[in-house]
């Protein structure tokens, strides 16, 4: 829902959420949840991989990393 509004207003957005304890950053058990445009996710992958071992792309919906 929020993603379609952002797209209609031509707003770029990205979300990256830590799905682990803060101490897990830069460790093998660190997981990052990502949402936003696939193109932007692909651009951010190298940076995100320096922070966490596991990346999960949840799609383009704004707020997707907050659900669940």
String of DSSP letters for the chain: -HHHHHHHTT---EEEEE-S-GGGTTSTT-EEEEEE-HHHHHHHHHHHHHH-SEEEE--S-TTGGG--
Task: Give which of 6, 14, 46, 13 is closest to 33, Cα–Cα.
Answer: 14
pTM of the model: 0.69
Q: Over the stretch 4-63, which tens digit does the pLDDT of each residue have?
A: 655 665 656 678 888 888 888 887 788 888 888 888 888 888 888 888 778 889 888 877
Cα–Cα distance for residue pair 20/38, rounded to 1 Å: 23
Q: Walk me through the domains of the chain, giving residue ranges and CATH numbers.
A: 2-66 (3.40.50.720)
Cα–Cα distance for residue pair 13/10, rounded to 1 Å: 10
């Amino acid at each position: 829902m929020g993603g379609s509004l952002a797209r209609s207003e031509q707003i770029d957005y990205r979300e990256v959420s830590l799905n682990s304890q803060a101490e897990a950053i830069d460790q093998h058990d660190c997981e990052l949840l990502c949402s936003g445009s696939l193109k932007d996710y692909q651009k951010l992958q190298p940076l995100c991989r320096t922070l966490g071992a596991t990346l999960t792309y949840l799609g383009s919906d704004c707020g997707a990393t907050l659900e669940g």
